[in-house]
Structure formats: C-alpha cells, structure tokens
A and B are shown apart, each in its own frame.
Chain A
Amino acid sequence: KNQVEQSPQSLIILEGKNCTLQCNYTVSPFSNLRWYKQDTGRGPVSLTIMTFSENTKSNGRYTATLDADTKQSSLHITASQLSDSASYICVVSRVETSGSRLTFGEGTQLTVNP
C-alpha cells in the first residue's frame, strides 16, 4: 500500500532553535518528494521538491534530505522563527500513466514559542 508517515505528529520548540522533521514512505514507483508548509487556514505552499537523484535541497533556512534507498526524508529548520509555526506536510509523487498521483502525509504540527 502506498503510504507516507511523518513524525513527530507535533513539536514545540523555542524561537532560535533548530529542529528536524521526519518522513518515511512506501510509495512506488517513486517520482519525487515534496515538502509543503501549511499555515493555519491556508493552502499548502511548496518548500522543496526532490527527485530520485537528489540527496539534499535547501530553501533558505529549510533543508530537505532524501534517501531513496531507505525511503526516508527529513526537513531541517535552522534558527526557527515564530513564523515557522505551521503544519509541514511530506508529499510523495507516484509515477502513473496519467495525472500526478500524490500521497500526502498527515503533517507535523510545529509550534515555535518566543
């Protein structure tokens, strides 16, 4: 079964601290993996997208890693800010004959406190 599991379910950190969010997947055949940030009451916004051959990709203070062999990804946030408080969703794209079939994780709810 094609699944995406994220951990932890929720996380509370202090402003300025670093954190790492995890994503494990069983989606096959794999096309790409994306991390989205979803602020409360808003639609998801893409942070990074990685294909099979990419191990690391950065977007400002966000760094995503991908290990396609173990089917694991992580999102590292450096020097967290209050505005980083959001749900972070791991999304894996599956190769299909038509359309783009995405499998969404349930998200990690990050709260950054002052």
Chain B
Amino acid sequence: NAGVTQTPKFRILKIGQSMTLQCTQDMNHNYMYWYRQDPGMGLKLIYYSVGAGITDKGEVPNGYNVSRSTTEDFPLRLELAAPSQTSVYFCASSPERYNEQFFGPGTRLTVL
C-alpha cells in the first residue's frame, strides 16, 4: 500500500492564482483531513470528510474548498491565492473517527 500520497511536493503561486492540491489514499479509510502547518506552529485543520460526498469545515477554512467524490480522493482547492496561504499542507486519513491518522508527505506552497 502506498498509504496517503500528495501532489505536488512543492509549488510557487502568484497572488490571485488558483490551484488544486491532490490527496489520495489506498487504505479504504472513511475519514480524510486537510491541515496546514505554519513555521513553529501546530497543525491547523482546514477541512475534513467523513465519507464520499460529505465534507465539513475545520478551524481555518477561509480561502479553501474541498470535494470528496470518491473514498480515495480528497482534493483541496485554493481559488485566489494570498501570501497568508504560504504554508505546508498535509493530507491525512483514518479508518474511523478516533483512530490514528495517517499523514501524507506534505505539499510546500509559497504564494508571492
């Protein structure tokens, strides 16, 4: 199993551009999550999903959108990139609500 995979690994955007961060898991997990990690800070939850077709906001959802059309995929969309969205983004999945979460390798995004 590949676990949780994320693409791209690195990306530089200009202010106002849009992009989609991809996340795929092959463990058949129901729950999936998107976090951002700013330097020296704890991870913050952006959005999460409890199953295909169901998504909900986390702590810091502004400026982002998600969709969950399949169990495997949970893409994160940035519509109008801003410098404040410069961060490392992690996708994670877990089989049930309170189980261990498995993290992807992260996407480092810089908005200039």
Selected from B98, B103, B105, the residue in CB contact (under 8 A) with A31 is B98
Closest CB pairs A-B (n = 5):
A43-B103, A104-B42, A104-B43, A100-B97, A46-B100
Contact B101 A102 (CB under 8 A): yes
Selected from A4, A32, A42, A104, the residue in CB contact (under 8 A) with B105 is A42
Contact B42 A105 (CB under 8 A): yes
Q: Which residues of B contact A31 (CB under 8 A)?
A: 98
Interface positions, chain B 16-41, Cβ under 8 Å from A, are: 31, 40-41
Q: Which residues of A contact B45 (CB under 8 A)?
A: 101-102
Which secondary structure dominates chain A's binding surface? Answer: strand
Known: A93-B98, A98-B50. A106 touches B56 (CB 8 A): no
B90 in contact (CB, < 8 A): yes
Q: Which residues of B contact A41 (CB under 8 A)?
A: 105-106
Q: Which residues of A contact B94 (CB under 8 A)?
A: 100
Interchain CA distance A108-B93 in the complex, whole Å: 24
Chain B interface size band reads 20 to 34
Interchain CA distance A46-B102 in the complex, whole Å: 8
- Min Cβ gap B5→A in Å is 11
Contact A106 B40 (CB under 8 A): yes
- A interface footprint on B73-109 (CB within 8 Å = 1, 0 otherwise): 0000000000000000010101001111111111000
Q: Which residues of A contact B56 (CB under 8 A)?
A: 98-99
Interchain CA distance A16-B99 in the complex, whole Å: 32
A66 in contact (CB, < 8 A): no
Interchain CA distance A105-B42 in the complex, whole Å: 5
Interchain CA distance A42-B92 in the complex, whole Å: 12
Selected from A4, A43, A101, A107, the residue in CB contact (under 8 A) with B90 is A43
Interchain CA distance A100-B94 in the complex, whole Å: 10
A43-B103, A100-B98 given. 14 additional CB < 8 A pairs? A42-B106, A45-B103, A46-B100, A49-B100, A89-B42, A89-B43, A99-B31, A99-B50, A101-B45, A104-B42, A104-B44, A105-B42, A106-B40, A107-B42
